[in-house]
Structure 1
Amino acid sequence: MQFYIYLFLFPIMFAYDCQDICNITLSITENTLVEKLTWNLLDLLSNRTSLYEYLQFSLSKPSNEFELNSTILKYRLLELDREKICQNISINDECSLQLEIFTQTSIIIIFKMIIIDENDWKPFFSQEYIHLNIQENRAINYRIQLPIAYDYDSMKYNIDHYEFLNNTDEIERIFQIEEFHGELRLKLIKKLDCESKNNYQLYIIAIDKGGFKSNILHVNITVGDLNEYQPRFTQRIYHTSIPENFLTINSSLSPILQIIAIDDDCYDKTILYTILNNDMPNDIFPFEIDKYTGSIRVKHKLDYETISTYRFRVKASNLDHITSSIVPIVIDILDRNDNQPSIQINILNEYKPMENNDEDVIININEHIHPGQVIGTILIRDIDSAMINYRLSLKILSCFPLTVSCPIDLDSEIENNTFSSTTYIIRTSRQLNSEQGDETFIIILEASDYGNPSLSSQRRLIVHVNDENDCVPKFTQSNYQFRLSHLSPVDFLIGQVHANDDDHSPNYRLIQYKLLEDNNQDIIRIDENNGYLFIAKQSLLETTFNLTVLAIDRHNHSLYDQANVQIILFDTTKCTAMFRQTIYIFNTTEHQTTPYEIGQVNVDDCGLSSIPISYHLMHDNSLSLFPFILDSHSGTIKVISELDREIQSSYKFYIHLFNSTSQTEVHINILDQNDHYPIFDDIHEQYIYISTHQYYHQTNKRFIAHVHATDPDDDINGLVNYYFTHKEHYDYFHIYSNGSIILYNLFDIHLPITLEMYARDQGYPEALRSKDTVIIYVCDIFKQNECPSNKLRRNFYLGSIIIMICVVLFLLIIILCIIWNLF
């Protein structure tokens, strides 16, 4: 017979009638107090056998859970914990402790304590954090296994279900927890999109049947990316501008352009940049790109004049190079003023030499070329852009020798259609004369641009003035007289006639002497090379020969001079002293230091040194101070006071021989020296009003004014040229040798402009500059109030008004004082 015994409310005992084996089963709720887990075996067996009172008990073997003391069976552990006691059993197995107890009789007691479970364990996940990688675009209902939660309680109180702790609408639409055959799985109910969201955090808990909740299972879901998007540039085209001297003012590491591409994929965002350039080899292509950052840098020197715009493409691709995009790049190179203007000189063929070198330009011109004659052009080019160099100019920097004025002038009369070039005309500036020192000129031309900073270049121009055979031979005297004995033998030297040729070239100074035909050539002969006269045939008679001698230019027989020669054959016994020449001509320059000798007259004393010679000077007594004296014994003429050609340019007087009827005429010419400065004739200040608008003029040139200066010096010493004091005025104005001032360049001119001019002669050996200058104010006719003259006039008017007010007040005070004294 079986029966149940309930102890301490929860324990339940099952007892059966027993003969040899007596089974005692107790059901005890876990966590019952240990103090209550004590049983008296006699009480347990009292209704099972009649001999229970006489039984003695002992354990069949030692027990860790129980101890037996006489009839008292006691639970010896500190607590009754089903999960500890039965930790190795399945959740469906019964948890119990069994004990065999022997008696002195043959009865064996089987004591079994069934431990009834309580919900005293919470569910738990063995790992709290897991990471899942789910590829985007997985099919709906795709499942991935999750770790399950554990609960040591029995099936009655074990895990009931799982749920999301953060169950938002988003998670609910995408994920679902699924339990299947003891497994926990995560189910996709919607496809994942990495580009929309690439990470999810799921918090999962387990809840047992008793309502206990487990710890949180943190599920970190990374959405795996598919390379479905190609890189996308932030701009359709990249365009920038950099100066051509970028490497000079910046480091080679400095970026000039930042290329940015974006990849809409989640994780494959590493983009590699590559320059695509099919037009130029990479070793000379001036740009490079950082393949990771997209920064474009300059690696080679840039030159606007070579390439002003670079067009190429940049490719952006992913690491796998599956997808890529291309964007165009435009880089404009900004010009900088880094090129000097070039000077190209074109000379007309008739003025070119047979040979020329590359460095110097040589011009050959004849001395009698007309002033203002065009001999060539000069083209100034600058390969820098017109935005940088909006204007070019050319000037004569120097002209050697400095003692004479420059033989050429530059005239910008040719208009160009572009700003990058300017053409000047080379003209002769004055009358040239090789006999006056015009031989070889070394001219330095300087071309300048108007960039920032301004650059310039120079070119040397060599002008050779060719001497022309233009000078007529001139005898030193127009009349010669020679006296000799009528007994002079054949080949006796009578004397010499001499002519000079002032041509500069020695070849053109060669003279041939001839006697006029049928002119006593049988008696007198002449050496054609040196002009010596000889006796060709002895006469033996006292007579006089009158000859005409020609001095002929050997290269141009049309150039010649003639002189009269009188040869007197005398009887030495009847001879009287006579002057050798009827006219003596002497030349001297003005302003020499006195006294000095100017020349000497000669007398033919018939070879008789015993004849006394005495000279006497005769001149016009109207001269208050005669500047010459004569040595009565030697015939030497001296200058004793300063000569001035501008006061008197020549002198004429006579010299007599004492006790003789012979006399000679003396001419003294005063040669000019450049001793006078040019002097302006007109007023020294003018105001000119012009319009710079093309509407009012049919040409770009404007006549401004005319200036004139005089120089009383002779020849080139008195020839005047005009110049601007400030060289920058040549960029807009031109002043001609006749004093005309022309405005030829209207581009970027700002009026008013103050022109200051000076005059300089062409004196030799040193040119003189005027002491005074002429000032011309060039003003805009539409802005007369900006002209200095109007400002001065306004100041004058204002000063006059103030003075008048002061005078009126003074008179008023005097009147008031008079009235006060009277009354």
Structure 2
Amino acid sequence: MSTQINGNAYPELVLKKALDREAQAEHVLKINGIDGGNPVRSGTASIHIRVLDANDNVPVFSQRVYKASVPENSAIGTVIAKLNATDSDEGVYGEITYSFSHLSDKMGGVIEINSLSGEVRLAGVIDYEEASTHELDVQAKDGGGQASHCKLVIDVIDVNDNKPMIEIKSASANVVENSKPGTMIALINIYDLDTGSSGRVTCTIPDDVPFKFVSEVKNYYMLVTDGILDRELQPEYNITVTATDAGSPSLSSVKVLTIVVTDINDNLPTFTQSEYNANILENQPVGTFVMKVKAEDIDDGSNAKVLYQLSKDTKSEVSSFITINSDTGRTLHITPL
């Protein structure tokens, strides 16, 4: 196109279509000027066109979804992932800053992102038992306000950082000494917050006690009698229950269960002597002390209380002048000899 002014032609350069700086940043045009004389004369000139940038491109992540993993309890500052976004624009329009979108306050204290490099690091303690997976939305924004998003999925790897737990669901503190083998004493629940081998738990008690574990439901153990109990031989058991997981290294917990063996009347009173001899002078007043007998019973409580009486087999002439205190075993004569 050209414009005529005072007989002179002024060419105008106009765009036929939009320019794209990212496709071609500079254009060089050559213009020819031809006169109308004879012979024809001409001149040439070059036009250098530099296309200025506009913020017409959004940042683009190299991946729509990034996946990463990190062991729980990793040190603060551990690098989890490095995100990368590019922008075809230049200058401030091509400068990208990274940030999390919709990050909770709790996660904000655990994970952080470098706004310039896109590097994601641990800023606090990350715990598998609280959440095994985190899905985060990451934003890349250029200097002109154009933004795009990607998803970062972080899998937390479980480590053996929890000891097994021992819970006594029900227990009898006392067991009668004549209880039959298989009598249930306690129901114990064993569990571990870890997973995999770290969450597999075994439960044991010492071999030298007359008790054993029976498990019919996963993670539940019944403590039952496994032998004859004799209170007179052992009136109480302090049973150490040990729960151990299969992690590496393994962790264990211990709980002591106290069981008292209660008494039954299974023992006869026994005199300290099989025969007692006494001499008493004649004509002693009524109530004169003759002797004291003693019997012992190894049972407990009321079962061990001994009462004394003269046997029905005692000759009548003897029982007529001798009496015995039922509580103390003291014998007295009651009629003159």
**Contact preservation (8 Å) 1:194, 1:266:** no
Change (3 A) 1:450 1:283: closer
2:101 aligned residue: 276
Asked if 1:239 is matched to 2:64, the reply is: no
Q: Which amino acid aligns with 1:272?
A: T
2:22 is aligned with 1:195: yes
- The corresponding residue for 1:459 is 255
Structure 2: distance between partners of 1:318 and 1:455: 50
Matches within 5 A, 1:75-154: none
Tell me which amino acid in the other structure corresponds to 2:151.
P
**1:381 Cα shift?**
0.3
Give 3-state SS (helix, strand or coil) of 1:425's partner. Answer: strand
Shift of 1:200: 4.2
**SS state of the match for residue 198, structure 2?**
coil
Task: Confirm or deny: 8 A CA contact 1:194 1:224 kept in the other structure.
Answer: yes
1:486 and 2:309 correspond: no
Displacement of 1:476: 4.0
Quote how far apart the aligned CAs of 1:244 are.
0.9
Instruction: Say whether residues 1:414 and 2:216 are aligned partners.
Output: yes
- 1:509 is aligned to 2:304: yes
Give the whole-Å Cα distance in 1 for the aligned partners of 2:140 and 2:107: 22
1:312 aligns with 2:136: yes
Q: Out of 343, 346, 358, which is 2:166 matched to? A: 343
From 265, 278, 292, the equivalent of 1:496 is 292
Residue type of the alignment partner of 1:500? E
CA distance in 1, matches of 2:265, 2:108: 63
Deviation string, structure 1 residues 239-282 (Cα, Å, up to 9, x no partner) = 222211322xxx50x4312222233445522122221125x225
1:311 to partner: Cα distance:
1.7
Which residue is 2:36 aligned to? Answer: none
What's the offset of the Cα at 1:477?
5.1
Q: Classify the secondary structure of the residue corresponding to 1:389.
A: helix
Say yes or no: does 1:373 pair with 2:176.
no
Alpha-carbon distance in 2 for matches of 1:300, 1:434: 56
Write the letter of the residue equivalent to 1:414.
E
Give matches, 1:621-770, under 5 Å.
none
TM-score normalized with structure 1 length? 0.36
State the one-letter code of the partner of 2:203: L
1:432 alignment partner in structure 2? 229
* Pair 1:256–1:204, CA change in 2 (3 A): farther
Shift of 1:284: 5.1
Query: Residue deviations 1:392-439, cap 9 Å, x none?
Result: 11222x68xxxxx3232223x3242xxxxx222212232121212x12
Query: SS of 1:495's equivalent?
Result: strand
1:320 deviates by 2.4
What is the deviation of 1:316? 1.8
What is the root-mean-square deviation in Å for CA atoms of aligned residues? 3.4
Match of 2:204 among 370, 376, 395: 395
Query: Residue deviations 1:34-77, cap 9 Å, x none?
Result: xxxxxxxxxxxxxxxxxxxxxxxxxxxxxxxxxxxxxxxxxxxx
Identify which of structures 1 and 2 has the higher relative contact order when contacts are C-alpha pairs closer than 8 Å and 6+ apart.
2
8 Å CA contact 1:198, 1:266 repeated in 2: no
Q: How many Å apart are 1:475 and its aligned residue?
A: 3.0
* Offset at residue 368 of structure 1 (A): 2.2
The verdict on how the C-alpha distance between 1:395 and 1:192 changes in structure 2, with shifts beyond 3 A counting, is same
Letter in 1 for 2:326: E
Q: Distance in 2 between matches of 1:201 and 1:369?
A: 107
> What letter corresponds to residue 514 of structure 1 in structure 2?
Q
The one-letter amino acid paired with 2:60 is R
From 524, 530, 535, give the equivalent of 2:328: 530
In structure 2, what is the Cα distance between the partners aligned to 1:439 and 1:222?
Answer: 101
Structure 1 residues 380 and 311, CA gap change in structure 2 (3 angstroms): same
Instruction: Give 5+ residue unaligned stretches, structure 2.
Output: 34-38
CA contact (8 A) 2:114 2:120 kept: yes
- The 3-state SS of whatever aligns with 1:224 is coil
Query: Are the counterparts in 1 of residues 237 and 258 from structure 2 also a CA contact under 8 Å?
Result: yes
- Give 5+ residue unaligned stretches, structure 1: 1-140, 143-179, 352-362, 400-404, 417-421, 540-823
Q: Distance in 1 between matches of 2:96 and 2:201?
A: 50
1:496 deviates by: 2.6
113, 124, 137: which one aligns with 1:300: 124
- How much has 1:486 moved relative to structure 2? 3.5
- Offset of residue 191 of structure 1: 3.7
SS in 1 for 2:223: strand
8 Å CA contact retained: 1:513, 1:530: yes
1:339 Cα deviation (Å)?
0.6
Deviations 1:121-160 (A, max 9, x none): xxxxxxxxxxxxxxxxxxxx79xxxxxxxxxxxxxxxxxx
- Go from structure 1 to structure 2 and tell me whether the alpha carbon gap of 1:535 and 1:430 turns closer, same or farther (over 3 Å shift): same
Q: What one-letter code is carried by the residue in structure 2 that aligns with 1:225?
A: D
Could you tell me how far apart the structure 1 residues matched to 2:9 and 2:326 are?
149
- The superposition leaves residues 602-623 of structure 1 with CA deviations (integer Å, 9 ceiling, x where unpaired) of xxxxxxxxxxxxxxxxxxxxxx
Q: Deviations over 1:626-663 (max 9, x none)?
A: xxxxxxxxxxxxxxxxxxxxxxxxxxxxxxxxxxxxxx
Q: Which SS does the other structure have where 1:414 is aligned? A: strand
Higher helix share: 1
SS in 2 for 1:345: strand
User: How far apart in 1 are the matches of 2:253 and 2:177?
Assistant: 30
Measured in 2, the distance between the counterparts of 1:534 and 1:486 equals 13
The amino acid that maps onto 2:225 is: T
Q: 1:190 to 1:529 in 2, by over 3 A?
A: closer
**Aligned mates of 1:203, 1:381 — CA distance in 2:** 84
Are 1:375 and 1:427, in contact at CA under 8 Å, matched by a contact in 2? yes
The structure-2 alpha-carbon separation of the partners of 1:222 and 1:443, relative to structure 1 and needing over 3 Å to count, comes to: farther
1:747-806: per-residue Cα shift (whole Å, max 9, x none)? xxxxxxxxxxxxxxxxxxxxxxxxxxxxxxxxxxxxxxxxxxxxxxxxxxxxxxxxxxxx
Between the two proteins, the alignment pairs up a number of residues equal to: 322
Query: Distance in 1 between the 2:106 and 2:286 partners?
Result: 99
Q: Distance in 2 between matches of 1:190 and 1:284?
A: 48
The match for 1:153 is none
Distance, in Å, in 2 between the alignment partners of 1:300 and 1:271 is: 26
SS of residue paired to 1:192? coil
What amino acid maps onto 1:234 in structure 2? S
Change in Cα spacing, 1:435 to 1:380, as seen in structure 2 (3 Å) is same
Q: Deviations over 1:322-367 (max 9, x none)?
A: x22222222111111111111112334xx1xxxxxxxxxxx32222
Change (3 A) 1:243 1:201: farther
Q: TM-score, normalised by structure 2?
A: 0.81
% identical equivalent positions:
30
**Alpha-carbon shift at residue 303 of structure 1 (Å):** 0.6
| Higher Cα radius of gyration | 1
Q: State the Cα distance separating 1:289 from its structure 2 match.
A: 1.3
Q: Report the AA paired with residue 224 of structure 1.
A: L
